[in-house]
Amino acid sequence: MEVRTRFAPSPTGFMHLGGLRTALYNYLFAKKNHGKFILRIEDTDQGRYVEGATEVIYNTLRDSGMQWDEGPDVGGEYGPYIQSERKDLYLPYAKQLVESGHAYYCFCTENELQARRAAAEAKGLVFKYDKHCLNLSKSEVEQRLAEGQPYVIRLNAPTEGTSTYTDLVYGEMSFPNDTLDDMVLIKADGMPTYNFANVVDDHLMHITHVMRGAEYLSSTPKYNLLYEAFGWEIPQYIHLPSVMRDATHKLSKRDGDAYYSDYIDKGYLTEALINYLALVGWNPGDNREFFTMDELIDVFDVHRLNKAPGIFDVNKLTWFNTEYIRRMDLDTYLKQVTPWFDQVLSGHNVDYHRLAELMHERTEVFSRVPDMVRFLAELPDYDLSLYTHKGQKSNPDVARTALNLCLPVLEAIPEDQWNETELHDRLMETIRESGMKNGQVLWPLRIAISGQASTPGGAMEIAYLLGKPETLRRVHLGLEKLG
């Protein structure tokens, strides 16, 4: 039997990390088993329609390297793959259940239901539909239908006993049937409910393994009732625990840490994110941590999915990201970092290639790059105390001497020879002749031209990147400051 999994997102406009991980595990499981990965858009709830939301789904999956075998835009044997385009096919299935006695027409109006709900709540009871219309005679139903009375179709759920099924992650799950409601299958507007469409589609699309968030664990008995009523084969269930920030906190929209786009906007790499996400809730059985998508497919095993919530640790993601950046070649790095340089350096004529060499090993997340290189565009307003450095034997007095020593040397370098070798050779020779220690000169020089204690590269590299006029301007400013 061919393994067929599906990712069935509702188009909300955002891809939650939990959803992305669900997609990933579905993809890995299908590919591991040489099966098919299907994308189905669950948009029956039109009230939630968000412009461009399906594109967010397509782009996120494609950027992440998960190409679906069947889906809205690529087609397939069991389409359409967007539920709103399938809306007419559900009603006949619901009628089939009415015929077989598993479902029934319900004509109760919203007002009637509300009154009964209020009455139940007044007695401290949880309102469940009371099967009122189950007792209507066939002729009465026909008459009301002929009159065009609005109706819904409900499932006739058992009220006693328990429903049990086996989940691949959670094991045996049992729920008492008296909690089951006679759920609506077809709404008054003729549209299927979300739950009904989900089951009909999983069946029609020959889904063998339903892998989804654990929030569906308790609805699954309702789904199983439908499969049984139709006489359809129940798929294998694999429910996935949620992805959390820590043991007690969810990832949240407000904190900007819940969605895929939050991380991409901050300059995290998709590959690093996917690699880490795979390990949030699953492990390969050994301590390997770095995986390409093909390697993940190779080692993926559903029996290694965790039952405990997955903790998404952004520090760990940052660590992965740093490693992925390090492993890039310089050209790739340069290409990726350029827009981040541009944010603060455009128009400043900085040698990006050289800056990229200096920044490559120090980059953890691209969004931190602009702050790290901003000093090249604009000298920060620094404190004189930066000139004091014990290890380098520097203090403001030493710094004044050092800058006065450097100034004529820098001035003497012709602009067309302003490069690191020239800067290095001339400065080192001057330092040697002066009898000062290297650090006593180079530390103050670096502070004067960068205005900060930590920089990519040292004094020579920064002087080169700034160019001659700006370097001299900053050394003069330093001397002024030192008085």
Q: Which is nearer to ligand GLU, 258 or 459 (CB)?
A: 258
CA-based R_g, the chain, Å: 33
Q: Considering the complex, what minimum distance in angstroms separates the CB of residue 39 from ligand GLU? A: 11
d(CA 141, CA 143): 5
Q: Is 266 designated active site?
A: no
Q: Considering the complex, what minimum distance in angstroms separates the CB of residue 42 from ligand GLU? A: 4
d(CA 282, CA 103): 40
Q: Which residue is nearest to ligand GLU (CB)?
A: 212
Angle at 198 between CA 68 and CA 10, to 5 degrees: 60
Q: Considering the complex, what minimum distance in angstroms separates the CB of residue 16 from ligand GLU? A: 9
Q: Considering the complex, what minimum distance in angstroms separates the CB of residue 334 from ligand GLU? A: 39
Instruction: Provide the terminal-to-terminal Cα distance of the chain, rounded to the nearest Å.
Output: 83
Q: Which is nearer to ligand GLU, 19 or 478 (CB)?
A: 19
Q: Give the CA count within 13 Å in the CB-facing half-sphere of 77.
A: 6
Is the Cβ–Cβ distance between 223 and 233 less than 8 Å? no
3-state SS track over 197-257 = HHHHHHHHCCCCEEEEEHHHCCCHHHHHHHHHHHCCCCCEEEEECCEECCCCCECCCCCCC
φ, ψ at 81 (rounded to 5°): -105, 15
Q: Which is nearer to ligand GLU, 222 or 389 (CB)?
A: 222
Q: Out of 187, 253, 316, 468, which one is annotated catalytic?
A: 253
Q: Which is nearer to ligand GLU, 4 or 212 (CB)?
A: 212
Q: Considering the complex, what minimum distance in angstroms separates the CB of residue 218 from ligand GLU? A: 13
d(CA 263, CA 249): 18
Q: Which is nearer to ligand GLU, 42 or 69 (CB)?
A: 42
Is the Cβ–Cβ distance between 103 and 129 less than 8 Å? no
Q: Considering the complex, what minimum distance in angstroms separates the CB of residue 8 from ligand GLU? A: 4
Q: Which is nearer to ligand GLU, 65 or 213 (CB)?
A: 213
**Whole-number Cα distances in Å, 266 to 16, 53, 368, 432:** 16, 21, 8, 45
Binding site for ligand GLU (CB under 6 A): 8-10, 42, 198, 212, 216
Report which of 302, 153, 191, 329 is spatially closest to residue 237, judged by C-alpha positions: 302
Catalytic residue ranges: 253
